[in-house]
Amino acid sequence: MALILPFIAYVFFMAATSNALRCYVGGPTINNGSLLVPLQECPMLGAYSCTKTLDLSTNLVTRQCSPTNCTQNGVVMTTSICYNTTVGVSYQTNCCCYGDGCNSAPSLTNSMTAIITVIALAFWLSSPL
């Protein structure tokens, strides 16, 4: 019986910590398509979303955990959102999302696929019929 209580406490502790939201956290860093900040478990209990703020004036991006749901104009959104704002003389794109690692940089694979598709389409459209 003496070993059962610590075991039960351990199981509940592991279940609680393994369900923590994981976001990329850090910055500001230069927004060059690479991801220079680590994926971390959100340290706060009750973290609901991950955020990414891109300052378009300086090209710096900051990623973090958020204790709130994603909102736009005061309305709680159930899906990921991005919107532009002006803060003083700074123009920003703010993104909020749900799910582990959702505030990452666009992957190189997706970027390369898009570039190759555009190039192939350009060649196809420019070729004589």
* Domain membership flag for residue 107: yes
66-104: per-residue pLDDT in tens? 999 999 989 999 999 999 999 888 899 999 999 999 999
What are the angstrom distances between the C-alpha of 7 and each of 4, 11, 20, 124?
5, 6, 21, 65
What is the number of structural domains in the chain?
Answer: 1
Beginning with the edge strand found earlier in the chain, give each strand of the sheet holding 60-66 in spatial order. Answer: 26-30, 60-66, 49-55, 90-97, 81-87
Share of the chain above pLDDT 90, in %: 49
* Domain membership flag for residue 93: yes
19-29: per-residue pLDDT in tens? 789 999 999 99
Distance CA 17, CA 34 (A): 28
* Average pLDDT value for the chain: 78
* Domain membership flag for residue 8: no
Whether 125 has a pLDDT exceeding 50, the answer reads yes
* Structural domain containing residue 83: 21-126
Confidence of residue 39 (pLDDT cuts 50, 70, 90): very high
Q: Coil, strand, or helix at residue 42?
A: coil
pLDDT at 12: 42
* Domain membership flag for residue 16: no
Any idea what the CATH number is for the domain that residue 96 is in? Answer: 2.10.60.10
pLDDT at 127: 66
* Domain membership flag for residue 59: yes
